[in-house]
Amino acid sequence: MALTLKEEDAADWVYRGEGAVNLVLAYAGSSPSFIGKVIRLRKAPKNGLESNGVSVRNSIALTPQERILWKNVDQLISSSDKEIVGQLYVEHVMKPLLGSNYVDVGMHILVTREFLELVEKNVTGQRPLWRVDAARVDTECDFGLLISDHSLFTHGSPRPSPCISVEIKISRLSEYNPLDLFSGSKERIQKAIKGLLITPQNNFRVFLNGSLILGGLGGVAKNTDVCIAKKFEDELKSFIEVDDGLCTENLLTLVTEALQKSGVLDKLLDVQKLDSIDIEGVIHAYYNITSEQCMVCKELSEEQAKIYASLHSASFDESLRIVKDYLIAATAKDCSLMLCFRPRNEEDSGLVYNNIYLESTKQAFDFKVYFIDLDLKRLSKVRDYYELDKKIVSRYRQKIKLDRGRNEVTGLEACNGKTVVSVELRCSKCKRKVMKLIATVAGINSIVLDPDKNTVTVVGEADPVRIIKNVRKFRKSATIVSFGSSKEEKKEHKKDVRKEEKKKEEKRDVMLPCLLDPIKIC
């Protein structure tokens, strides 16, 4: 930690964005040590809980139970520094899983209190108000994490060059289907990226030469309307050489090609799949580790408790594995992807970068891809995840109950619903597994699989929440496409059949004279 940022350095760092825990600043000065870098600074909540003058570096790194959880990662359990542990987690846990070429561990540097106080003053006006009200820069934390600015191509090139970068936040939903993003299909990936473009929220940001041109700096961006889309298209003209109105479309193609060629989504999905039993099962393994009485089992019926009994009889090491895999998967579900592109020239022929050629623009682009925000999830978060899951399930059931009540008022059959689940059915083994998992849910009248559409239709009184949770034990990416009354569908189906028969009759009336009189065909 030879480098130290002092009060006089604060003016060279500009606001780039923030999350719940960290503030991100980009370097805009001329020091060779910091050109092409960003720094992550810890935030402190404005809830009256102060650190009482105790440096964050002196706080406990891992709890005794966490040391047992990560006992196979010597570097983690040997560190006494909370922040260093986070960096070691990225280096020794996430980097091997996601690939060394796609993970930037970064380095810690010292920062003075005066630097942090001045940074806080300088950036307050650029932060979203709700972020300002919630947290401030933690002036008790005496260092920050310095990493490369992956929105830029700054090193390894003999020339300055324009570049454009796209940041995709993995965790939240918008107008895109996550199944499309992780499908491996070029068309479906592009459809997902287009959905993100239309509703960026906090999931999608685009930078041109390091400056934001689409999305929110530290908050949720509004939907992309006609004016925003036009301005964005105009910004891209300096980067993508194509006819007016086609720049955005070509950028989407560029991002899709990079995601496919790099294979990073496959790597990410493999890590997310480490969560094989969902939080409803993991919570029981958690109580095994903490040696506490399982509070969840008290809330379950006798039949439900039997389902999870095997988890409580599992070995201690097996419980450790389940919880550790879940927390690693949680990191993979809450990270971001940064893709950066620049036009490729003959001067760059000796540089080793992945590249893409766009036939539509006759341009070649270098690109790089990095995972960012690979934060360590603490053991105590397992309870929080479970409580959040309970709230989501409760709200969803309330919605279904309300929908059923409306159906009864309108005369529809509420007791015999139809749930359509979107799930990848890759082979006969997949089909059997999904059928078996769904069949354990009470109240099912019929199950119909459609491998061509990758859907399963379940008819009966079965709880849709229970159906989707069972399917996700096999396919984490499964989602509920729709829920409704099967009786209403039958009515619609009969109408459709009658319409189709009428069309056939009309078609036959038109075609029959031609068949009887070939001269009319001419």
| 486 and 451 fall within a common domain | yes
| 142 and 227 fall within a common domain | no
Match 């930690």 to its residue by tokens: 1
CATH classification at residue 461: 3.30.70.100
| 358 and 309 fall within a common domain | no
| 261 and 208 fall within a common domain | yes
Q: Is the pLDDT of residue 267 over 60?
A: yes
| 32 and 130 fall within a common domain | yes
Distance separating alpha carbons of residues 150 and 366, to the nearest angstrom: 13
- Please indicate whether residue 228 or residue 180 has the higher confidence score (pLDDT): 228
Q: Is the pLDDT of residue 136 over 90?
A: yes
| 210 and 263 fall within a common domain | yes
| 206 and 291 fall within a common domain | no
Q: Is residue 397, in this structure, part of any structural domain at all?
A: no
Q: How many domains does the chain have?
A: 4
Q: Is the pLDDT of residue 400 over 90?
A: no
Q: Is residue 520, in this structure, part of any structural domain at all?
A: no
Q: Is the pLDDT of residue 170 over 60?
A: yes
Query: Range with the lowest mean pLDDT among 157-166, 306-315, 426-435, 464-473?
Result: 157-166
Q: Is residue 387, in this structure, part of any structural domain at all?
A: no
| 313 and 459 fall within a common domain | no
| 51 and 130 fall within a common domain | yes
Distance separating alpha carbons of residues 270 and 476, to the nearest angstrom: 11
Q: Is residue 70, in this structure, part of any structural domain at all?
A: no
Which of 141, 165, 133 has the alpha carbon at shortest distance from 152?
Answer: 165
- Please indicate whether residue 522 or residue 256 has the higher confidence score (pLDDT): 256
Max avg pLDDT among 239-248, 311-320, 392-401, 475-484:
311-320
CATH classification at residue 110: 3.30.200.110
**Which pairing describes strands 479-485 and 455-460: parallel, antiparallel, or unpaired?**
unpaired
Tell me how far CA of residue 117 lies from CA of 126, 244, 363, in angstroms: 15, 46, 46
Full DSSP string of 182-247: TS--HHHHHHHHHHHHHS-BTTEEEEETTEEEES-SSSPBPP--HHHHHHHHHHHTTTS-S-TT-H
Task: Provide the 3-class DSSP secondary structure of residue 397.
Answer: helix
- Please indicate whether residue 478 or residue 489 has the higher confidence score (pLDDT): 478
Q: Is residue 80, in this structure, part of any structural domain at all?
A: no
Confidence category of residue 57, pLDDT binned at 50, 70, 90: very low
pLDDT tens by residue, 11-50: 999 999 888 889 999 999 999 899 999 999 999 998 754 4
| 365 and 311 fall within a common domain | no
| 295 and 428 fall within a common domain | no
- Please indicate whether residue 407 or residue 299 has the higher confidence score (pLDDT): 299
Q: Is residue 96, in this structure, part of any structural domain at all?
A: no
Distance separating alpha carbons of residues 70 and 136, to the nearest angstrom: 31
Q: Is residue 82, in this structure, part of any structural domain at all?
A: no
Question: What pLDDT is stored for residue 65 in this prediction?
Answer: 94
The boundaries of the domain holding residue 144 are 4-65+101-149
Query: Range with the lowest mean pLDDT among 46-55, 144-153, 393-402, 479-488?
Result: 46-55
| 237 and 309 fall within a common domain | no
Q: Is the pLDDT of residue 415 over 70?
A: no
Q: Mean per-residue pLDDT for 482-509?
A: 50
Q: Is residue 404, in this structure, part of any structural domain at all?
A: no
Which of 378, 320, 285 has the alpha carbon at shortest distance from 89?
Answer: 378
